[in-house]
Amino acid sequence: MGVAGDGTPVPVQWRTTSTNGISYLRVINDVRDKYPELRAYLPLFCECLTYLGTTSRDMAEIETDIRLHTGGISFSPFVTTDLTNLGHIEAGISFGSHCLDQHIEPMYRLVLELVRETNFGNTDRLRALLNALASNMFNDVASSGHAYARRLAASTLVPEAGALETMNGISQVKFISDLARLKDLGPVVEKLRRVQEVVFNKLTMRTAVTTNKGSSDDNQRALDHLLQSYPQQGHQQQSKQGGWKEVEKFTATSGRFFCPLPFATNYAGMATRCVPYNHADSVKLQLLAKFLTPNYLHREIRERNGAYGGGAGYSALQGVFSFFSYRDPSPLTSIETFAKSIEWITAEKHEISEREMMEAKLSVFGDLDTPLSVAEEGMGYFTAGVTDDMRQERREQFFAVTPADLKDVACRYLASENAAKVTSVAVIGEETLAISGDWAQVHLK
């Protein structure tokens, strides 16, 4: 870890390795929970940066330069959870690019141009973008509704899932659809300019550079130049790699949500708050999800209930155990099946065989041992603070998990009275579903 820039130095994660003559830049600006009213605008803001053009050039001209000098420039909302406390999160924007080493200076220059000069007052392009986003998001719900259902269910349980629901869930689909119907986009423009002011701030910034040994100096000079012109606002606490994260004022609550949509298919999701990444039971819960999917959920949800697919998953970083069904004619039956899977594995008469355990572990190791590209190396630490030693320790912990451990965590985290208080369900689908009146209804129109 190093620093860059004069006056207000910015943390930089330098990684020098063989990159075949390519340099990679990644930047995170963390705004934590200081501006929750602006969080819903972050996805639109990111799309605007590579669509609207700047005050001096239209986007077609800028895109020509981007294709000429880089492999692309991308901006996206960012959120992650503290490894030891599910109530602590970082939220903001992440952006990056990569280029051949002979184009290092133009890459940094183009990134800075988009950060500082994007023309949010281009309302014609903004309206076209909103219409396209509203249409694409609705189509995405129709094809990937299970992901939205899981996100909606988890949104009441942990701060990260709540932020993701706002920025990439049903709430965001409704938000963009509402903006697309506005006749006057003036207030939207003002919000986007406000986001630009609070997000792009040198004091809440950290960077990661991956490059060849011979190109480190060129990247250092280009990064120093970018930071000289990078905006700096106020006197906020400076961002630190792996440092303290703001505590969200968040209380986990259970809920039941139904989002009626005019298409002839359904999706179901159920989520339960569990433990943070560094907790000893985290690996057991992850293995439990891998065990339940092929040994119970696939058979019951797909073969008996008639859904296209279903399963369980555990997000170790979020600390959420979830179930889902995909293109499901009977989503309410599938929700009952989710609960029955816990009864099945915790039953005293049910024995988990060594072969089943080995298959579950091999599935986990298949995920853990997926090769990383040069661009992804070190990103686990940069984004979430997960070191290589932590990854290796977690890998070794999987070997020690026993069948009794799976039954134990299923009882304590998914079948207990306390689990019911931190479990939510969501259904997205046909308007004609027989949903009882105590479900909260989320309407997109």
CB contact at 8 A, 47 and 179: no
Per-residue pLDDT tens digits for 145-184: 999 999 999 999 999 999 999 999 999 999 999 999 999 9
Q: Between 9 and 347, where is the model more confident? A: 347
pLDDT at 410 over 80: yes
Q: What is the pTM of this model?
A: 0.91
Separation CA 31–CA 78 (nearest Å): 10
- What six digits make up the tokens of 285? 């819960």
Q: Which long-range contacts (CB under 8 A, 24 or more apart) does 404-408 make?
A: 405/284, 405/287, 406/284, 406/287, 406/288, 406/291, 406/345, 406/352, 406/357, 407/345, 407/346, 407/352, 408/284
pLDDT at 244: 40
Residue with tokens 């007052």: 121
pLDDT at 407 over 90: yes
Among 280, 360, 246, 264, smallest CA distance to 313 is for: 360
Per-residue pLDDT tens digits for 357-374: 999 999 999 988 888 899
Per-residue pLDDT tens digits for 423-433: 999 999 998 88
With b for 16 or more beta-carbon neighbours within 10 A and e for fewer, the 54-75 pattern comes to beeeebeebbeebeebbbebeb
Per-residue pLDDT tens digits for 253-296: 999 999 998 888 999 999 999 999 999 999 999 999 999 999 99
Distance of CA 207 to the CA centre of its chain: 19
- What six digits make up the tokens of 26? 């990644």
Per-residue pLDDT tens digits for 18-65: 999 999 999 999 886 678 889 999 999 999 999 999 999 999 999 999
Mean pLDDT, residues 221-242 taken together: 74
Amino acid in the structure at residue 1: M
Separation CA 27–CA 12 (nearest Å): 9
The sign of the dihedral angle between the CA atoms of 13, 14, 18, 20 is positive
250: left (phi over 0), alpha (psi -120 to 50) or beta: beta
Separation CA 129–CA 51 (nearest Å): 8
Give backbone dihedrals phi and psi of 436, rounded to 5 degrees, phi first: -70, 165
pLDDT at 434: 81
Q: Cα–Cα–Cα angle for 32, 189, 40, nearest 5°?
A: 35
Separation CA 238–CA 216 (nearest Å): 24
pLDDT at 133 over 60: yes
Among 425, 413, 338, smallest CA distance to 86 is for: 413
pLDDT at 278: 95
Among 24, 14, 33, 34, smallest CA distance to 73 is for: 24
Q: Between 436 and 58, where is the model more confident? A: 58
CB contact at 8 A, 235 and 404: no
Beta strands in 63-134 (DSSP E): 73-81, 89-100
Per-residue pLDDT tens digits for 317-345: 999 999 999 999 999 999 999 999 999 99
pLDDT at 3: 57
- For each of the domains in the chain, give its residue range(s) and CATH number, in order of start: 2-229 (3.30.830.10), 256-441 (3.30.830.10)
Give backbone dihedrals phi and psi of 88, rounded to 5 degrees, phi first: -110, 125
* Mean predicted lDDT score pLDDT of the chain: 91
CB contact at 8 A, 32 and 186: no
> Using 50, 70 and 90 to split pLDDT, how confident is the model at 250?
confident
User: Measured over all CA atoms, what is the biggest interatomic distance in the chain, rounded to whole angstroms?
Assistant: 72
pLDDT at 35: 80
